[in-house]
Amino acid sequence: MIRTSGLTKRVPTSEGELTILEDVDLHIESGESVAIVGASGSGKSTLLGLMAGLDTATSGEIWLDGQKLSDMDEEQRALLRARTVGFVFQTFQLLPSLTALENVMLPIELKGDPGAGAKARELLDRVGLSDRWHHYPNQLSGGEQQRIAIARAFATRAGILFADEPTGNLDTATGGKVVDVLFNLNREFDTTLVLVTHDERLARKCGRTVKLVAGRIAGEEAAAEVAHA
């Protein structure tokens, strides 16, 4: 489903070139759930962004859903995102000018699929916020906003879900609830999940953990307790 080989990202800074990622080889199977962990600044978000096609690598190759991302331009990547990718971010990233419902409908409409309203309502129901559909993001708590974001991520039935510290801005209890929702939907739709996190417990819920240290993969371990294995 996702494959990177020799992935390297360097950025120019005032003190010369800075290497953020170096020679990252990663293979993620369809339906797999992978946690990317590491210290702050180790390059987790950068790797996620590259795999999702939000940015371009300095060198190396990325395949996403059978297509070679590194050969595409931003337009083509956008179309690919529309079809295959969903996101959940640490800072939620809902459109403040749209209601909860409209936020969830947005990707469906952009993809051009019919029945956006019904689908969105159903998803809102699934994340437990069906009664808040007409509220705007700034009228909702962080946890609620994140659940809307999750509903939005699943709205187009995308095959791959990228999540960057989805619980980073939430307290433990709220975070737990959000994680439950995320994994439930993930299981139900059989989505490939790539999750960046600091949270050990959250990482352990994934089938595999990849550890980044200073931009290099320092080790991988399969989670022992993956139930359905």
Ligand X SMILES: Nc1ncnc2c1ncn2[C@@H]1O[C@H](COP(=O)(O)OP(=O)(O)OP(=O)(O)O)[C@@H](O)[C@H]1O
Site membership for other proteins, residue 24 (CB under 8 A) = no
Output the smallest distance, CB 60 to ligand X, in A.
16
Measured distance CA(229)–CA(224) in Å, rounded: 9
40 binds, among other proteins, Mg ion, ligand X, none (CB under 5 to 8 A by kind): ligand X
Tokens of 159: 């095959």
Tokens of 26: 């990663």
- Cβ atoms 160, 64 nearer than 8 A: yes
Compute the Cα dihedral for 85, 77, 1, 175 and give only its sign.
negative
Q: Which of residues 16-45 bind ligand X (CB under 6 A)?
A: 18, 20, 38, 40-45
Output the smallest distance, CB 215 to other proteins, in A.
16
If phi > 0 it is left, if psi is from -120 to 50 it is alpha, else beta; for residue 157 that is: left
Site membership for ligand X, residue 115 (CB under 6 A) = no
For Cα atoms 224, 227, 229, give the angle at the middle one, nearest 5 degrees.
80
Measured distance CA(130)–CA(67) in Å, rounded: 36
Q: Which of residues 57-86 bind other proteins (CB under 8 A)?
A: 67, 72, 74-76, 78-83, 85
Tokens of 14: 């005032």
Q: Which is nearer to Mg ion, 41 or 128 (CB)?
A: 41
Output the smallest distance, CB 18 to ligand X, in A.
6
Q: Which is nearer to ligand X, 104 or 202 (CB)?
A: 202
Q: Which is nearer to ligand X, 89 or 154 (CB)?
A: 89
Q: How far is CA 56 from the centre of its chain?
A: 17
Measured distance CA(128)–CA(131) in Å, rounded: 8
Q: Which is nearer to ligand X, 18 or 78 (CB)?
A: 18
Site membership for other proteins, residue 48 (CB under 8 A) = yes
Site membership for other proteins, residue 118 (CB under 8 A) = no
- Cβ atoms 36, 24 nearer than 8 A: no
| Contacting positions for other proteins (CB under 8 A) | 45, 48-49, 52, 54-55, 67, 72, 74-76, 78-83, 85, 87, 89, 91, 93-98, 102, 106-107, 109-113, 116, 138, 152, 164
